[in-house]
Amino acid sequence: MKITTILSITLLILINQKSFAKQATEQSVNQLIQVMNINSVLQETLKQIRPQMDQNAYVTVKSIIKHDQLSPQEQIVANELADQMYQQSVKILAWEQMKPIYEKVYREVYSGEEVQAQIDFYSSEIGQSILRKSPLVAQESMKIINTQIGKILQTQEKDLQKLNLKLGRVLISKNDGVSIIRSV
């Protein structure tokens, strides 16, 4: 009985420690955002992933027209689509839009102590080095993700073709059944 009481009290203490953790202040979160240079990293990341956006636009146009090579006119359409996608991304990910989101998320997720630890780390030389490499990591990650998404889409397209064949057979057999019933 004593063991369960001790375990219960210990559990309550551990659970409540999070609620007693000092919340991150607006000032400390803004300092972290500044030290991490999130605005510049975000804008640089957008530039880094532009080639993937171009590729996505090209693949989208190819899938619509159903052939592998784009004509010069189709390439123009793909380029326009890529430009439109990029401009939408720039608008949606504009710092004026994103800063309040980052502030809210950081204040809600991290304690004051965690924010300070990040400030300390990202203020260091190694922390700044990691931050400078973040856009490249995002670019390389997007390449891998796009490749995987391409594989998923190919698989799904094959699955849909099989499904269409099955549904076609079902409809034919239903129509045959209807014909037989009518002829009887």
What does the angle CA 11 – CA 17 – CA 20 come to, to the nearest 5 degrees? 145
Q: What is the pLDDT of residues 34-65, one digit of tens each?
A: 999 999 988 888 888 888 889 888 888 988 88
Q: What is the residue extent of each domain of the chain?
A: 22-173
Pick left, alpha or beta for residue 23 (phi over 0 → left; psi -120 to 50 → alpha; otherwise beta): beta
Q: What is the pLDDT of residues 63-91, one digit of tens each?
A: 888 888 889 999 999 999 999 999 999 99
The burial of 40, by beta-carbon neighbours within 10 Å (0-12 exposed, 13-18 middle, 19 or more buried), is given as middle
Average pLDDT, rounded, for the chain: 83
